[in-house]
Amino acid sequence: MNREELIISADRIIRDWLTHTGTACAIGKWEDGAIAELMLDDARLSTPRYDGPFSGLRDLNSHRDGHHVHFDLAQVDQVVYSLAPVVCFGWKPGFTCTLGNGIQLMFREPWVAGQLDETVCHNFLGMFVRHRNAYPDIVRLHVERLMSLSDATRQASEALLSAAATLGDDSLIDSLKRIYTTPA
């Protein structure tokens, strides 16, 4: 992909995430000591404002509270959808999408009263499949196997397999089965 194609793909992926309620954007890395999080329920991504070396600049604006983040989408060379344990959810899986090195989109509340919101699974895997099919050079899935087969892990694996089956994506089903049905 050339630079402009990378910018367009990152722009479209972010805009797709913005169509879902209950999403957030985290910027930063724990290794650096802090992460900023922006709630996206009313957020808008700006249109391109510049040409040339600044054509990838975008603003993600939260209209409710006036906060915003500046992105250079030209820096996005990979998009990784991740299913991994998250401390905020009691080590239950979180559903995130990391663009490049610093933009992390996520569902804020995939677990409600200890139960997985299966709509989150369907939305997450649906976006992954659409984006992987549209941008196969840069989009991939990373699934971190949970060490214990708790009820939450079983519920998540069943919901993920069900969502993958609904999407009719055999390679995704096979990948998830290898991860969640083989002993650790």
The domains of the chain are located at 3-146
Phi-psi label, residue 24: left if phi above 0, alpha if psi -120 to 50, beta otherwise: beta
Query: Topology of 3-146 in CATH?
Result: Heme iron utilization protein-like fold (3.40.1570)
Mean pLDDT throughout 59-72?
85
Task: Specify the pLDDT at position 110.
Answer: 92
- Which residue did the predictor score with more confidence, 66 or 182? 66
Give pLDDT tens digits for 100-133: 978 999 999 998 888 889 899 899 999 999 999 9
Global pTM?
0.87
Give pLDDT tens digits for 30-61: 788 888 888 888 899 999 999 999 999 999 98
Beta bridge partner(s), residue 43: 62
Give pLDDT tens digits for 85-95: 888 887 788 89
